[in-house]
Amino acid sequence: MKTEMITLKHGDASIKMPASSLAKLAMASVFAQMLPPAANVQAVAPSSVPEIGHPWAGQGGLNGGFVQARGDVPAHYLIIATKDVGDHEWGGRGVELKGLSKTDGYTNTQVLIGNDDERKYPAADACAEYQADGHHDFYLPAAAELYQGWLNCPEVFAQDCYYWSSSQRSAYYAFGMGFDDGGQYGTGKGDELRVRPVRRFFI
C-alpha cells in the first residue's frame, strides 16, 4: 500500500511528508498547548535527605526530622548538633522573662542572650556560641523541639541525664527533659543540666 503524502506550503517554502507523521506532530502540538507547563518539564530529582538521626553533610549536625510551618516560622528540618556542649545552669533564677515559648527555641535563645538586665543565661549562651560546618545560628531548643528529638532519634542523646530546654516554666523553673523516658520536668534554673544545640535548615 502506497504511503499517503501531504505537501505543506508557506510562501516560497514547501515540505512533503507522510500524512501519519503530520498527524503525530499535530497531536503533539495540541497536547503541548492543553497541558500545564509543568507537564512538559522533566521532574527535578529531590535533594538527598539523610535518615533521621544520621549526619547531614554541610548542615552542622544530624537530621532531627521535618518540622511543619508554625506561625511566622516556615517549614524546616531540625538539625541537632552532633555533640553536647557540657552541663550549664539555665540562669536568671527569680526572673520570669516575657516572650518565651514552648515551641520556638530560636526566639527564646535570642531573648535570653539579648537581655539587658546583665543576668547570665549559660545554657543559651553555650548554644549560641556553638559553630559547625560554618553555621553560627545554633540555639537552645524549646521544649517541643527536645520532644521531637525524643520522638525521632532519642539514641543520639545521653540517657543518664537531663537536658535543658529554652522554655520557661516560672521565675524559678524551666523545662528539662530526660531521653530515657521522654519526661519533661520543671527544674530549678540554678541546676546544671546537659545542653545540646540545634539549628534550622529551611527548605
For 188-199, the pLDDT digits (tens) are 999 999 999 999
Overall domain count for the chain: 2
Residue 124 lies in a domain: yes
pLDDT digits (tens, 9 = 90+) for 152-187: 999 999 999 999 999 999 999 999 999 999 999 999
Residue 165 lies in a domain: yes
Same domain for 191 and 120: yes
Same domain for 62 and 108: yes
Same domain for 30 and 64: no
Same domain for 60 and 152: yes
C-alpha distances out from residue 116 to 93, 126, 155, Å: 15, 18, 37
Same domain for 157 and 193: yes
Same domain for 30 and 92: no
Residues 6+ apart with CB under 8 A from 51: 63
Same domain for 163 and 82: yes
Same domain for 127 and 186: yes
Asked whether the beta carbons of 203 and 76 are under 8 A apart, the reply is yes
Residue 87 lies in a domain: yes
Domain with residue 114: its CATH number is 3.10.100
Q: How far apart are CA 107 and CA 45, in angstroms?
A: 34
Q: What is the pLDDT of residue 119?
A: 79
Query: How confident is residue 35, by pLDDT bands cut at 50, 70 and 90?
Result: very low
Residue 8, pLDDT above cutoff 50: yes
Query: How confident is residue 115, by pLDDT bands cut at 50, 70 and 90?
Result: confident
Q: What is the pLDDT of residue 13?
A: 54
Q: How far apart are CA 181 and CA 120, in angstroms?
A: 30
Same domain for 178 and 102: yes
Structural domain containing residue 35:
5-40
Q: What is the pTM of this model?
A: 0.77
Q: 3-class SS at 78?
A: strand
Q: 3-class SS at 53?
A: coil
Residues 148-152 have a mean pLDDT of: 98
Q: How far apart are CA 50 and CA 149, in angstroms?
A: 15
Asked whether the beta carbons of 174 and 165 are under 8 A apart, the reply is yes
Same domain for 90 and 19: no
Residue 89 lies in a domain: yes
Sign of CA dihedral 139, 140, 146, 150: positive
Q: pLDDT higher for 107 or 19? A: 107
Asked whether the beta carbons of 57 and 47 are under 8 A apart, the reply is no
Residue 93 lies in a domain: yes
Residue 157 lies in a domain: yes
Q: What is the pLDDT of residue 31?
A: 44
Residues 104-118 have a mean pLDDT of: 89
Residue 1, pLDDT above cutoff 70: no
Residues 136-150 have a mean pLDDT of: 98
Residue 50 lies in a domain: no
Query: How confident is residue 48, by pLDDT bands cut at 50, 70 and 90?
Result: confident
Same domain for 126 and 79: yes
Residues 72-83 have a mean pLDDT of: 97
Residue 80, pLDDT above cutoff 70: yes
Q: Give the pairing of strands 198-202 and 76-81.
A: antiparallel
Same domain for 189 and 89: yes
Residue 48 lies in a domain: no
Asked whether the beta carbons of 189 and 125 are under 8 A apart, the reply is no
